Amino acid sequence: MFPLRNYATCVLLFLLVLSDFSVSQSQSPCAAKKKRMREKVRNMFYHAYDNYMTYAFPHDELKPLTKSFTNSLSELGNLKLEHLPQDYNGSALTLIESLSSLLIMGNNTEFERAVLWLSENLTFDVDARINLFECNIRVLGGLVSAHLLASDSSKKLFQGSYKNQLLVLAEDLGNRFLPAFNTPTGLPYAWINLKYGVMENETTETSTSGCGSLILEMGALSKMTGDPIYESVALRALRKLWSMQSSLELFGTTLDIATGQWIEYSSGIGAGVDSFYEYLLKAHILFGKEDFWKMFHSAYVAVQKYFKHGPWYHDADMRTGRATYWQLTSLQAFWPGLQVLIGDVIAANSSHREFFHVWKRFGVLPERYLLDHQMLHPTEKYYPLRPELAESTFYLYQATKDPWYIEVGESIVNSLNLYTKVEGGFASVKDVTTMQLEDHQHSFFLAEMCKYLYLLFDDSFVHENNYVFTTEGHPLPVQSSWHDELPEAYIPNNWTSLKRRSTVNGISAMSLQVCPATNLKSGQHIESACHIPDARSNYRCLTDEDCGVDATTCRRRTCSMAGYCGLWLII
């Protein structure tokens, strides 16, 4: 058995493969396949990267069908620049997004060249209206991650001469974000001009993800610069958003940052809210604050209770919990990966298999699939090379070492090469029924898709350190110096022994804040993460308060007239 960890770092046991285990893996029957698939993914990455550098650099993204470019950072959300300078050459978005992928694939030389180019040429002093959320996760996240990797002496980059150039750029960008938070509620504007701040008559509508998914990148920037302002404004926005939850502990999708009122009450785990849940958990891991864990724990239980239907998750009204839309969206496919990090592996596997079933049916994962009608959404039949299924496949393989996930990864790689690879890169799919292509290679194809597939087949990068991957796939190392509040069992070298305490059989891995594997020594049974045991082991009760939450349905158990806890109100 591996040594036990406190929750904040034990989740990364799924990402750490010890050397002795790696040796045994090298002798396994699937080792040759993994090596072959690793090289396939490497070739995919460089086909996309080289074509970007040839036809689109230093602009933002590649248009692979016409071998041209788009400055998409200022066009995200289908909103165009208002005052784009004629000599504006873009932000080299795809290059920034590719930095950590270059290192993971062992190309230190190209990483160093890219860092030097960015330090000498990139500027954010441009009259450009950008989406705060997208610029945060893509550009700030890419710069912060790459700076931390470049500063890691063990990687022996720049012959020890790196001078924090990326941190300087990140701090400049972070400062340009700050005017967006100057609102009555502390919730930030969704759009901001990099040169002039918030423009006159700017929209006050934003998404839950847009104001609740900033804490990793801006928190890390504060830790690195010593200036608390970035973490402070992101945390204030997060706490304000948290205060807006319904009595069911659910959240809507869109809101008004000026009034602090919800605009769209229907919500799920997909677009507009997905990374909000993700960042609650990952902020706890990265910064060690117990508040983040408490928020995630209650939010997760509410999601499992009101959104989950078998292996699927539908949308529901935050006020009533009633289902609104029965649909699968491609962005939901991140959820099984998040469940792995809290030890709810059985539930993660169940949902993941359903997503993969849809992938196999269409060859790729459509943007939206109507579960109640078992048909594609009539207008959202596209596939923009989204990486979430590959991400969850990587996490599940790390957690289980089930070779079936290697087969899933191989299927994803083969589909991408068959349907989306063109001479000029990899193109998005406009219609999954015809496989008609669209002229866009999103930067996240290099930042996430190729990275997670590569790590699925070769996880040597995560042997070196504990990492939290942002919602854009940028790795941030877990450092004890960033933990303001450490769990009881924490010790400096990151390894822990659980404090001995009496626990009720059936308690969840989530409530214990431990990896599910850690209790195998004692033979203790670990239930689903939403499970809360009854107060008494014999299930007797006096009131409903003596009853817990059912492990299978995530419904609250109630006390019967005979004095026993059960799902008596469920027909």
pLDDT in tens, 391-403: 999 999 999 999 9
The pTM score is: 0.83
Structure confidence at residue 21 as a pLDDT band (50, 70, 90): very low
Instruction: Encode burial over 427-448: b for 16+ CB neighbours within 10 A, e otherwise.
Output: bbbbebeeeebbbbbbbbbbbb
Q: Is the pLDDT of residue 338 over 80?
A: yes
Give the active site residue among 388, 410, 438, 439: 388
Three-state secondary-structure class, residue 157:
coil
Q: Does the active-site annotation cover 423? A: no
Between β-strands 327-329 and 316-317, what pairing exists: parallel, antiparallel or unpaired?
A: unpaired
More confident residue, 546 or 471: 471
Structure confidence at residue 517 as a pLDDT band (50, 70, 90): very low
Contact 475, 463 (CB under 8 A): no
Q: Is the pLDDT of residue 184 over 80?
A: yes
Q: Does the active-site annotation cover 388? A: yes
Q: Is the pLDDT of residue 300 over 80?
A: yes
Q: Is 471 annotated as a binding residue?
A: yes
Q: Is 364 left (phi over 0), alpha (psi -120 to 50) or beta?
A: beta
| Tens digits of residue pLDDT in 150-178 | 999 888 898 878 999 999 999 999 999 99
Contact 453, 412 (CB under 8 A): yes
Q: Is the pLDDT of residue 521 over 70?
A: no
Give the active site residue among 110, 231, 315, 367: 367
Return the half-sphere exposure (C-beta side, CA atoms, 13 A cut-off) of residue 227: 14
Alpha helices in 229-344 (DSSP H): 229-243, 274-287, 290-306, 335-341
Q: Is the pLDDT of residue 129 over 50?
A: yes
Alpha-carbon gap, residue 264 to 250, rounded angstroms: 12
| Tens digits of residue pLDDT in 57-84 | 999 999 999 999 998 776 433 333 334 4
Per-residue tokens: 240? 């304000």
More confident residue, 233 or 530: 233
Structure confidence at residue 553 as a pLDDT band (50, 70, 90): low
Alpha-carbon gap, residue 49 to 56, rounded angstroms: 10
Structure confidence at residue 549 as a pLDDT band (50, 70, 90): confident
Specify the residue for token string 């009496």. 502
User: Minimum mean pLDDT among 187-191, 225-229, 276-280, 487-491: which range?
Assistant: 487-491
Alpha-carbon gap, residue 553 to 550, rounded angstroms: 6
Q: Does the active-site annotation cover 274? A: yes
Q: Does the active-site annotation cover 87? A: no
Instruction: Encode burial over 295-328: b for 16+ CB neighbours within 10 A, e otherwise.
Output: bbbebbbbbbbbbbeeebbbbbbbeeeebbbebb
User: Minimum mean pLDDT among 107-111, 239-243, 278-282, 489-493: which range?
Assistant: 489-493
Structure confidence at residue 545 as a pLDDT band (50, 70, 90): confident
Give the active site residue among 61, 112, 217, 274: 274
Alpha-carbon gap, residue 266 to 103, rounded angstroms: 41
- Mean pLDDT of the residues in the chain: 86
How many CB atoms sit inside 10 A of residue 425's CB?
Answer: 28
pLDDT, position 536: 86
